[in-house]
Structure 1
Amino acid sequence: MSGARPQDWNQALRALAQATGDEPAIIVLDEVPWLIEQDHEFEGALQTVWDRFLSAKPLLLILVGSDLTMMEALQQYGRPFFGRAARMTIRPLDLADVAGMTKLPAADAIDALLVTGGFPEIVRSWEPEMDRVGFLRQSLDSPLSPLLAAGELTLLGEFPASTHSRMVLEAVGAGERTFANIAGKVGGVNPLPSGTLAPILANLVGKGVVSAELPLSTKADTRNKRYRVADPYLRFWLTFLRRAIADSERGRPDLALRRIERSWSAWRGRAVEPIIRETLARALPDDRWPDTEEIGGWWNRQNNPEIDLVGADKGPVAGQIHFVGSIKWFDNRLFDRHDYDQLVKDGSFVPGATPETPRIAISRAGFESGVPVDQCWGPEELLGVWAG
């Protein structure tokens, strides 16, 4: 087939079918959502060639795309390729993978996961046993490093600059969590209208880029929805690395590192919460919490109080609250009696919680002796959930 110049996708895919012959083969088509957008005949051509030529051959056809909404739509009833493929979502590396590749202890491996998001290319650039500051100093030195480049390339491909979708995503990445605050951040003096913002947020949630969360309790509450960037790496990139590229290009990566270190502890304290909830959701139910199948948090409109962890039998409206919990993710400060007393006080506001509701605690640095929590988790226990 050397020199062949197919005029359309139908000819191109037929030529590919002929080229494979009868030998086992693997065909990979990347950027499928982009292909669909650019050529509306692609899906029909793929279905026709698959049914007539490719399906009878000993080959594996892999369609790759990062737009979850588009890839899921490809298999919907009424679309040309419906019923002809199995779906597989490729997840980033998990905490145990990151710890294994970086050779870091549990607490530092969680930091590495927050920075890299578990993306293999970025994790691979982390030299074994290198601490976080050393990795950042090395990566910030070049605008072409995987840490800096991956986020920019992802956003350029999915969310072009100056579009409302990009501005909304950047607002969420900057820490705006409520609908009203996002609208104000994007629109400034004239907040973005609800009719414009609502479908944008729905689209970002559908793509898996943004997560929308509701308070978990026995009382329905759909008005206090909170938004966050779903991927840890993209959250880190939007907060710190977007500006760092310009610093690196002009030979001043030290400025970016200084900004990161100045805000690291506060940023990490919020960013680690979804990872801890995901870890507990993977660990539970277990023998101690045999009926706990939903892990979330709870907050009111003022975010005061705000409960880091709520365990329940189901969600978003629970039948029974099994525990409330607090996360203290500091380098050197133990979870102490003051933290416990605050959890007791704040936990009483959660609908469905009672004075007898168990309390759990998560701490990076450890626990003060005698703190009467019902269960405590540290970095090693969290890592063990993924390594087991």
Structure 2
Amino acid sequence: MAFVNRQEELRLLDEMAQEPGAQLVMVYGRRRVGKTTLLLHWAEQTGLPLFYWVAKRDPREILMANMARAIYSWQHDSDVAINIQVQDWEQLFQMLAQAVGDRRVIVILDELPYALQQDRGLGSHLQAAWDHLFKDSQVLLFLSGSHIGMLTDLTQYQAPLYGRLTAQFPLFPLKFSDVVAFLPQYDVYQRLAVYAMLGGIPAYLERWRDRQTIKANVEHLFLKRTGWFQNEALVLISDLSERETTNYESILKAIAAGYHTREDIAANAAIQSTALSHYLPPLEALHMIERRIPATVPLEQLKTSRRSRYFLRDPFLRFYYRFIDPNLHLIEGGLPNRLWQMIDDNFRAFVALEFEDRCREWVVWQAQHNNLPFAPDNVGSHWSKEVQIDVVAINWQEKQLLVGECKWGDSPLSRQVVTDLVSTKTPKLLHHLEGNAESWQVHYAFFTRHSFTDAAQHEASNHGAILRTLSQIDSELSQ
């Protein structure tokens, strides 16, 4: 897998390595996000000795035998295959500790949940090994995996590793600005379309051929019975729980179908509303879904607000459950052309949602670089029965507000869009805020795919509005 960007993650890993003494770090993230690639790339850069072992879906005895051979080969710098008899994990960790000695060594135990599936007692052996063999050493011990359920079982209250981790390291998908490294032949509009379908998952982006059209790639990867993505969604869900995949998938399908409140999701997924508290947090932890609250909800009400809605955050799952899963019968029935037509008819509106996300990302980026008229407390959107606004940033103490409109059409953004936001939508939003409307200072921003009409630019300048096209957003986010 190609290594792209990850400069912030490399910096954090360097900081961990510079901490004195042993480090026990859990690295987790959804499958194919690049955990192994990142750790191995970083380990090579450090120049420190590295022991790497990856668990497979093998029985306990085979797993232990494979790890014993790996330790022996690493310790003796030998590729000679030998048969070492080990009785238990305790003996294995003693072998590893002896091989590490008092050196500063990186140890990566990858796909650890596979081993935990075969032996639930492994967590207790890890605890004992850390307490008695590694805690007072110089080892940098990384536990990595995609199965969030099993990794959580290791670290929750009264679990074997509770209170022992020196750091938890979630790895998230690459940003939109990183996609150009995978798709150099595509323009920014095509890259956004691909990002709307695949997100920032390196393993997915590597399979996309930017010398072919978007249609050709979708047909090859999604619309064939043997397409690479046919079973990917279920593979991802199985990393949450192997026993409850049906419930998790029902929740994802409900959200993709347009049900966003807890009550509507529960009803559509045929799950008790109270039971959602069991299923939603793991989906959020792996960035499969996200809980959104209007940015205009006061800070002290964010955690308890009943105005929250849930959305699919993972672009691949959003695309798969929006278009592919409901229409698998067309693929099975040999009618992929009909499915492509359905995708094509709705694709502009689908990509428009991703464009809105990137506009909000741009606002956050500008805030981080102190380029906005004020420092916002929150960035998001606003919705109510009266009005919906794509982009909102707010500072409650200073009573400052930025509101933005996003347009993904082929036509230039018109003057009517500017006047509608200023004269119609914003007054309705201000009605929801604390204090009278006159006490708030409002700033405006307009985002478009291509360009603005002359009349729109003139009207926007009258209000001191920010104007940005997708190309400008991409250029600034890439800095």
SS across alignment from 2:318: helix
Deviation at 1:249, TM superposition (A): 5.7
- The corresponding residue for 1:235 is 318
Distance 1:312 1:34 in 2: 45
* Residue in 2 that maps onto 1:65: 145
Work out which of the residue numbers 156, 176, 200 in structure 2 matches 1:95. 176
**What's the secondary structure of 1:349's corresponding residue?**
helix
Q: Tell me the residue number matched to 2:375.
A: 291
**1:174 maps to what in 2?**
257
Question: In 2, distance between residues paired with 1:122 and 1:322?
Answer: 38
Q: List per-residue Cα deviations over 1:81-107 (Å, max 9, x = no partner).
A: 334433222221211211222012222
| CA distance in 1: counterparts of 2:148 and 2:468, whole angstroms | 33
Alignment match, 1:110: 192
Note if 1:379 corresponds to 2:470.
Answer: yes
Q: Name which one, 1 or 2, has greater alpha-carbon Rg.
A: 2
Structure 1 residue 236 displacement after superposition:
1.2
The residue number in structure 1 matching 2:290 is 211
Question: Which residue of structure 2 lines up, in the alignment, with residue 46 of structure 1?
Answer: 126
Q: What's the secondary structure of 1:64's corresponding residue?
A: strand
Deviates more, 1:82-91 or 1:17-26: 17-26
The reply to whether residue 257 of structure 1 matches residue 337 of structure 2 is no
> Who is 1:196 aligned against?
275
Query: How has the CA–CA distance of structure 1 residues 168 and 218 changed in structure 2, closer, same or farther, with 3 Å as cutoff?
Result: closer
Give runs of aligned pairs for residues 273-288 of structure 1, distance below 5 A.
Answer: 273-285=356-368, 286-288=370-372
Corresponding residue of 2:349: 266
* Residues 195 and 87 (structure 1), Cα distance of their counterparts in 2 relative to 1, 3 Å cut: closer
The yes-or-no answer on 1:150 pairing with 2:195 is: no
1:370 matched residue in structure 2: 455
- AA paired with 1:260? I
Aligned partner of residue 348 in structure 1, secondary structure: helix
Alpha-carbon separation, structure 1, partners of 2:157 and 2:338: 52
1:213 CA displacement: 1.1
Q: Let me know the Cα RMSD of the aligned residues.
A: 3.2
Given that 2:240 and 2:282 are in contact with CA atoms closer than 8 Å, whether structure 1 keeps it comes out as no
Separation in 2, partners of 1:32, 1:108: 37
- Residues 143 and 280 of structure 1, relative CA distance in 2, 3 Å threshold: farther
Residues 207, 105 of structure 1: alpha-carbon distance in 2 compared, 3 angstrom cutoff: closer
> CA offset at residue 34 of structure 1?
5.6
Change (3 A) 1:119 1:73: same
* Greater mean alpha carbon deviation, residues 5-14 or residues 210-219: 5-14
Which residue identity lines up with residue 383 of structure 1 in the other structure?
A: D
Say which SS state the counterpart of residue 269 (structure 1) adopts.
helix
- Identify the match of residue 341 of structure 1 among 415, 419, 434: 419
Q: Which of 223-232 and 43-52 deviates more?
A: 43-52
The offset of 1:76, in angstroms, is: 5.9
Q: Is residue 137 of structure 1 aligned with residue 210 of structure 2?
A: no
- Determine what percentage of the aligned residue pairs are the same residue: 22
Please list every run of 5 or more consecutive structure 1 residues that lacks an aligned counterpart in the other structure: none
Aligned partners of 2:466 and 2:317: how far apart in 1? 32
CA distance in 2, matches of 1:247, 1:273: 31
Whether the aligned pair in 2 keeps the contact of 1:171 and 1:182 (CA below 8 Å) is yes
Which of 303, 306, 310 aligns to 2:392? It is 310
Which letter maps to 1:102?
Answer: L
Instruction: Give the 3 Å change call, closer, same or farther, for CA 198–44 of structure 1 in structure 2.
Output: closer
Per-residue deviation, 1:109: 1.5
Q: Match of 1:110, SS?
A: helix
Q: Write the distance in 2 (CA, Å) between the matches of 1:236 and 1:280.
A: 25
Counterpart amino acid of 1:88? F
Is structure 2 residue 213 aligned with structure 1 residue 122? no
TM-score by length of 2: 0.69
Cα distance in 2 for residues equivalent to 1:73 and 1:289: 45
- Tell me what 2:445 maps to: 360
Shift of 1:39: 3.9
User: SS at the partner of 1:370?
Assistant: helix
Shift of 1:37: 6.1
